[in-house]
């Protein structure tokens, strides 16, 4: 008995949510139903559901059940749901460079583990726009590890993180960031269509994922004059 029972139940239900078998607003099977189905006790079923609540997949409602909710996303500033909900308006995404194999970025603000540097590197660059106005220039790097078919496929609903979750069962579990207000360099000001030298917000992020071998590195340049970056977190 290697993987705890509660963990097996938890993983199964989580996967079913990721695959859309249970959708947003659905209720999971009740504790007693899980007991019957899998021959476990309520203690074990509760533990599985408690963990899922802790991970933000469900909310438990006294007297009603376990409601599937949109996962708490704000691990750092780059929300998983994005941007689109952060600004609350119509968002358009333009690929300046589609996912492909590139060099690892020199002097990246965060350290890349040796085993990742040995792997090939996937990179893509996107421009996020609100009503035709470019707001964020976004660069992403990640090691080419355990992501068959990542290059060449479209993202699910245009979302990188949603694709990682649903196609590869990879969840974001943490992040480190650094923030700087800088004068826009020519290349950046051109992309964001602002005056060179006007203030932009640089955000460098190192995401940790449920695969301990896999980190994701992002470098963002934001025009916050029109759209401030929002972030929230609750225990």
Partner DNA sequence: GCACGCAACTTGTACGTACATGTTATATTT
Partner DNA sequence: AAATATAACATGTACGTACAAGTTGCGTGC
The reply on whether position 179 binds a copy of itself by CB under 8 A is yes
Size of the chain in residues? 235
Residue 225 C-beta: closest distance to a copy of itself, Å: 7
User: Which of a copy of itself, DNA, none sits in contact with 181, Cβ below 5 to 8 A by type?
Assistant: a copy of itself
Site residues (CB under 7 A) for DNA, limited to 184-223: none
- Give me the least distance between CB of 54 and DNA, in Å please: 12
Q: How far apart are CA 179 and CA 202, in angstroms?
A: 6
User: Which single residue is written with the structure tokens 């994005």?
Assistant: 82
Query: Which structure tokens are listed for 52?
Result: 């899922």
Cβ closer to a copy of itself: 50 or 125? Answer: 50
Question: Binding string to a copy of itself for residues 206 to 225, with x set by CB under 8 A, is what?
Answer: --x-------------x-xx
Nearest to 162 by CA among 222, 227, 85: 85
Q: Per residue, what are the HEC states of 134-188? A: EEEEEEEEEECCCCCCCCCCCCECCEHHHHHHHHHCCCEEEEEEEEEEEECCHHH
Q: Which position among 200, 214, 216, 219 is part of the footprint of a copy of itself (CB under 8 A)?
A: 200
The interface partner of residue 198, options being DNA, a copy of itself, none and the CB cut-off 5 to 8 Å by kind, is a copy of itself
* Residue keyed to tokens 């401030």: 228
Residue 60 interacts with DNA (CB under 7 A)? yes
Give the list of residues 6+ apart from residue 74 with CB closer than 8 angstroms, or none. Answer: 231, 232, 233
Residues lying near a copy of itself in the complex (CB under 8 A) = 54-55, 75-77, 109, 173-183, 198-201, 208, 222, 224-225, 228-235
Residues lying near DNA in the complex (CB under 7 A) = 1, 4-7, 28, 30-33, 39-44, 46-47, 49, 60-66
């Amino acid at each position: 008995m290697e993987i705890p029972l509660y963990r097996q139940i938890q993983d199964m239900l989580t996967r079913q949510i990721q695959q859309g078998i249970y959708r947003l607003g659905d209720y999971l099977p009740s504790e007693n139903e899980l007991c019957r189905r899998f021959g476990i006790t309520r203690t074990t079923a509760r533990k599985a559901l408690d963990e899922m609540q802790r991970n933000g997949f469900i909310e438990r409602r006294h007297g009603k059940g376990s409601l599937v909710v949109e996962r708490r996303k704000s691990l750092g500033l780059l929300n998983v749901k994005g941007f689109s909900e952060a600004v609350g308006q119509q968002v358009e995404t333009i690929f300046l460079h589609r996912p492909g194999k590139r060099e690892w970025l020199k002097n990246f603000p965060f350290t890349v583990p040796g085993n990742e540097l040995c792997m090939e590197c996937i990179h893509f660059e996107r421009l996020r726009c609100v009503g035709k106005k470019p707001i964020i220039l976004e660069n992403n790097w990640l090691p080419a590890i355990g992501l068959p078919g990542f290059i060449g496929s479209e993202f699910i609903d245009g979302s990188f993180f949603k694709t990682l979750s649903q196609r590869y069962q990879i969840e974001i579990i943490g992040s480190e960031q650094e923030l700087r207000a800088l004068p826009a360099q020519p290349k950046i000001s051109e992309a964001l269509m602002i005056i060179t030298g006007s203030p932009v917000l640089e955000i460098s992020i190192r995401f940790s994922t449920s695969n301990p071998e896999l980190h994701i590195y992002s470098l963002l340049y934001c025009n916050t004059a029109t759209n401030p970056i929002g972030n929230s977190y609750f225990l």
